[in-house]
Structure 1
Amino acid sequence: MNSKSPLITLILVFLSYTGYSQTYAFFGSFNHNKNKEGLYIYELDTIKGSLKKVTVAKIKNPSYLTLSPDGNFIYACTDTKTPNTGSVSSFAFNPAKKTLTFLNSQSSSGENPVYCDTHPLGKWLINGNYTESGISLYPLGNDGFIEPTTQHFDYFEGSINPNRRKNSHIHSTVFSPDGQYLFASDLGSDKIRCFEFDTLRKQPLIETNIIKTTPGSGPRHFTFHPNGKHAYCIGELSGTVTVYEYSSGNLKTTQEIATHNDSLTEGFESSDIHITPNGKFLYTTNRGSENNIAIFSVQENGTLKIIGYQSTLGKHPRTFAIDPSGKFIIVTNVNSSLAVVFSINQITGQLTKTSETSIEHVSCVKIKTY
């Protein structure tokens, strides 16, 4: 009897794990029709790396998504790329029952919302508008409903390329890991706008400083290293990643490295950037003529070393996400309507395709384990 106890214990642990841990992938898209499916939820098999559809919702152009810290609510940039309008919308997700329920929408206070993020406390939603450039902050109810905007900032500055940057274009709004600061990447003005976030104030956002990026770089997406000591910004138009030392709202440049190989000299369309949970590898996506994922190893001082490239096996990879275990990457190829899952080699960082799923004009993915 005693000789069987370790085996029985392992079986019980396994059953407990498989019974109570589920990983879901949340997809947004450009469906261009409020009466068509646009927001999709799939279950990710974390052994095989395959996707199984769970539920969907009809809403127009949920182009970018974020989740509440507990994963019970989904927030989406909606009515994206729709003239003279824009909104943010909320949904409740029940992972046990696998149900998705629309809650409400609010105006994005500007045209073409493209990015949103939730504060670590789960009490605020921040949104960035690209075309009518600005930042909007919304309080969130405990029931997941989005309350009316409590703060809004407009920006009108341009930069050195008048064809692309006649004025500001906010492309990401990212809270620091501790929630004390907000960083807004302004592609149009080649700046990262920094705000202090005071949770005790009715209007928490306080503009503090501006980080100027390389002229013409077009800062797009921004992320932090898990250790909180380094931050990284991808330049859409320069095809580069800028590495920063980070401390209390301050960024100090330590490196700028290309996301493309030497054969490409112009026409960069870099898009998204993320780091594995263990902090060992950083990945970026490149659209345009490349349609690939650039793979970097992260050095002890936070700087990057290129490892190689992996085709996304589709066209126009707008975003991607790494699952919480750090085992898989899912990338969204908008123009080929294809979500592709890759497994991550834990030693080398290299990627291997495990599955692909057709999702019409898929534009965004987020992953959460419950």
Structure 2
Amino acid sequence: MTYAAGARGRRAFIGSFTSAGGHGVVAADVDPGTGALTVTGAAGDVADPSFLAPAPGGAVLLAVSETEEGAVAAFDIRGAAPRLLGDPVAVRGAGPTHLALAGGHVVTANYGSGSVSALPLRADGRPDAAPVVLRHEGSGPDPERQSGPHAHQVVPDPTGRRLLAVDLGTDSVYVYALDAPGGDAPVPHGRTALPPGTGPRHLAFHPAGSHAYVLGELEPTITVCRWDADTGVLAPVGGTRAVPAGAVTPSYPSGIAVSPDGRFLWAAVRGDDSIAVLALDDTREKPALVTTVPCGGHWPRDLTLDPEGRRLYVANERSGDVTWFDLDPTTGIPRRAGMLPCPAASCVVFA
């Protein structure tokens, strides 16, 4: 991988699996006109930094270390290459796959141990080594994938008062309060059961904040839920498939995104190696599959919108690249616009 130097503008950061040949946390400049990525540096100090999140202020990037021990690392991202800030901090959970900033904490979803860890953030953006660990309980009907809890994603709600944790192993979304009396660490608030065997992986909120769309990994479905931020209740109201009727290729959806105007929804689908395009109506409760397009690589682990909502970026783990797509503003259909080689890519975030 070659690096380029240039003036700092908008930047993207790519997570990758070092155990599969990835370069760790990869930094890239973003061309404002074309969306093209140009790598400026990488940091391979931390094992398997599979998911990333910018800390407040824009100078620090946080990353999970998706290992059996499980940790969070902080990087200074003001230079061309990310620079590790101190030692990674243990989360006291196995295999963290996702993290988010919520209530003054960095919160991780620990897939291997089926738990959520909350670590206070210091003033300099680094995590404190004193996590609160919240353990999930239960199982699902798939004996291989759902013998116990497997937290896969953590997402603050649009108000910042709640935290939602998507658990593949228990077919559930756990809801935590971030504004409970006596402290700002997440406090258990409720749990929503989803259709058995769907294996929920990730969710995305509608920009209006009234609905959430939960993507299943074990069944290629999108469950539509109403969200009441005041009561902290997530209520399923329906769903749709993320692959066309009659599809025969085994499909394992991964990432989901909703357009800033609330008209479209996109889902990455592994196996099928596609991006599903769905249209949302005025009720926000009836996603309609419009089409699917090739993801541009193999095994799309995640997808994300750029900050303007004009492009989609897809991290293709097994083909080792990041592809980006221009989005048709009328139809929502992505058109491939470019590709960056990036071994074992797992996610893309912007700062």
Q: Does the alignment reach a TM-score above 0.5? A: yes
TM (normalized to structure 2)?
Answer: 0.92
Q: Does 1:126 align with 2:107?
A: yes
The verdict on how the C-alpha distance between 1:351 and 1:39 changes in structure 2, with shifts beyond 3 A counting, is: same
1:224–1:232 CA contact under 8 A, matched in 2: yes
Q: Does 1:338 align with 2:324?
A: no
The amino acid of 2:95's aligned partner reads N
Q: Which is richer in helix?
A: 1
The verdict on how the C-alpha distance between 1:365 and 1:169 changes in structure 2, with shifts beyond 3 A counting, is: same
Match of 1:62 in 2: 49
Q: Cα deviations across residues 268-289 of structure 1 (Å, max 9, x unaligned)?
A: 301110112222211001102x
The verdict on how the C-alpha distance between 1:252 and 1:326 changes in structure 2, with shifts beyond 3 A counting, is: same
SS where residue 324 of structure 2 aligns? strand
Gapped regions of structure 1 (runs ≥ 5): 1-19
Percent sequence identity over aligned pairs: 26
Match of 1:91 in 2: 75
SS where residue 32 of structure 1 aligns? helix
1:50–1:355 CA contact under 8 A, matched in 2: yes
1:236–1:269 CA contact under 8 A, matched in 2: yes
CA shift, 1:363, in A, is 0.7
The verdict on how the C-alpha distance between 1:194 and 1:320 changes in structure 2, with shifts beyond 3 A counting, is: same
Instruction: State the alpha-carbon separation in 2 of the partners of residues 199 and 343 from structure 1.
Output: 42
CA shift, 1:331, in A, is 0.1
CA shift, 1:240, in A, is 0.5
1:268-279 matches, cutoff 5 A: 268-279=251-262
What is the aligned counterpart of 2:226 among 238, 242, 245? 245
The amino acid of 1:358's aligned partner reads P
The amino acid of 2:19's aligned partner reads H
Q: Does 1:52 align with 2:33?
A: no
What is the aligned counterpart of 1:29 among 13, 16, 25? 16
Report which of the two structures shows the higher radius of gyration computed on alpha carbons. 1
2:92–2:131 CA contact under 8 A, matched in 1: no
CA shift, 1:46, in A, is 2.7
Instruction: State the alpha-carbon separation in 1 of the partners of residues 108 and 9 from structure 2.
Output: 28
Instruction: State the alpha-carbon separation in 1 of the partners of residues 20 and 325 from structure 2.
Output: 30
Gapped regions of structure 2 (runs ≥ 5): 1-6
Give the stretch that moved more between structures: 66-75 or 291-300. 66-75
SS where residue 18 of structure 2 aligns? coil
CA shift, 1:71, in A, is 2.7
The amino acid of 1:28's aligned partner reads G
Match of 2:97 in 1: 114
Instruction: State the alpha-carbon separation in 1 of the partners of residues 249 and 191 from structure 2.
Output: 27
Q: Does 1:307 align with 2:307?
A: no
Match of 1:293 in 2: 275
CA shift, 1:100, in A, is 2.4
TM (normalized to structure 1)?
Answer: 0.87
The amino acid of 2:317's aligned partner reads V
Match of 1:322 in 2: 305
Q: Cα deviations across residues 26-84 of structure 1 (Å, max 9, x unaligned)?
A: 100011289x7311011111312211112211121101111124432211111x2x34x
CA shift, 1:135, in A, is 0.5
Instruction: State the alpha-carbon separation in 1 of the partners of residues 149 and 328 from structure 2.
Output: 39
The total of aligned residue pairs comes to: 341
The amino acid of 1:71's aligned partner reads G
Match of 1:168 in 2: 149
